[in-house]
Amino acid sequence: MEVFQEPIEYQNPILCLKIWQLVNDGIEYPIDWIWHFHKPVEFILVEQGRLDVHIPDRVYHLKAGESCVIGSSQLHFGRKISEEKLVYHVLHVDLQAYLDSAMQMYYRVFMEIDRSLDSLNDFMEHHAGINREIECIFADIYKEMNERTKGYEIATSIHVKRLMLTLLRHDRRGLLERQDTSDAQLLLPILTYVDMHLGDKIELQNVSDLAHMSYSYFSKFFKKTMGVSFTEYVNQKRIQKAERLLLTENWSITNIAEDVGYENMAHFYKMFKRYNGCTPKEFVSKLRKV
C-alpha cells in the first residue's frame, strides 16, 4: 500500500488552517487512490455530488449537505463516485492553536488523547442539524480567508471555535466527554501559573509543591490528566507565545527566546522548528507572504 505524508501549507501560519473548494466535473476517481495523512485535522463538506472518504476500517459515503472529520495523522483518501459533478470544501486545521485558557479543560478532547475525532462521523454522516451548522461555519471561514477584510483573523478564530463548540454540543453519545473532569479542575491553578511565568525558570518541584503533590505523583497526574508531560506542555505554551511576539513586537529573536524562558538559543530553535517545521525567521517570512 502506497502511503505519503501530505504537506499542508497554511493560508495564514498564525491561524494554522487552510480551506479551499474543490470542483471535479470528470470521471470518478480510481479505487486504488493513494493513502495519505497529515498532522492537521481535516473536515470535509460536500456541496454537490458524492464522495466516499476511506479510512483503514471504514468508508463514509457523503452526499450533498453532508460532512465528516478525519483525525490528526489518520490514514485516509477520498474517492469521487459517479460522473456527476463533485463540489466540496476541505478544511485543514491544527486545533491546538485554538486551545486558549478558557478551553484548556477540553485539551484531551481536541488533542485526541482518548479517541480520534473521526469517532464522531457515525452521527455526523446523516445528522441534518449538525451538517447545516457546519455548512454555515465553513461558508463563514471560507469568506473570511478569501476576502481578508480588517479583523479577518479574529473572525476566523471565532468561527473555528464555533466549529469545536458545535461538535461538543451535538455529541449526544458522550464521545467528546472530558475525562477526569474533577482532576482537571485541580490543575487550573497550575495552568494559570504556567501562563504567568513563561519567561521564568519553571521548576517541576516548585509546581508540584504548588499542587500539594509529590514530584513523582504530580508528573504522572499531569500527564494522565492532560495527555502530555508537564515539560511538553510548558514548551508548547512558550512556543505559542514566541509566535505571538514574532508577529507583534519588533524584538530580536534572542530577546524573544529569553522572554519565553529559553536561555539556550539552540534549544529555542530546536523547539520552534519542532512545533512549526521552520525557523522563527521563516515563520515571519511566510506570514508576510499571506
Given strand 17-24, what is the order of strands in its sheet? 17-24, 86-93, 41-48, 67-70
Instruction: Look at residue 141 in the predicted model and tell me its pLDDT.
Output: 98
Instruction: Look at residue 32 in the predicted model and tell me its pLDDT.
Output: 56
Q: What single letter denotes the amino acid at residue 196?
A: M
Cβ-based burial of 82 (10 A; exposed 0-12, middle 13-18, buried ≥19): exposed
Instruction: Look at residue 2 in the predicted model and tell me its pLDDT.
Output: 67
Identify the structural domains of the chain with CATH numbers, from first to last.
3-169 (2.60.120.280), 181-289 (1.10.10.60)
Cβ-based burial of 200 (10 A; exposed 0-12, middle 13-18, buried ≥19): exposed
* CB burial string 125-142: b at 16+ within 10 A, e below: bebeebbebbbebbebbb
pLDDT in tens, 57-74: 789 999 999 999 999 888
**C-alpha cell at position 235:** 514548551
d(CA 104, CA 189): 12
Instruction: Look at residue 97 in the predicted model and tell me its pLDDT.
Output: 87
**C-alpha cell at position 9:** 501549507
pLDDT in tens, 117-126: 988 898 887 6
Global confidence as pTM = 0.73
Phi and psi torsions of 104, nearest 5°: -60, -30
Instruction: Look at residue 191 in the predicted model and tell me its pLDDT.
Output: 85
Instruction: Look at residue 133 in the predicted model and tell me its pLDDT.
Output: 96
pLDDT in tens, 171-187: 887 878 765 555 667 78
Instruction: Look at residue 45 in the predicted model and tell me its pLDDT.
Output: 97
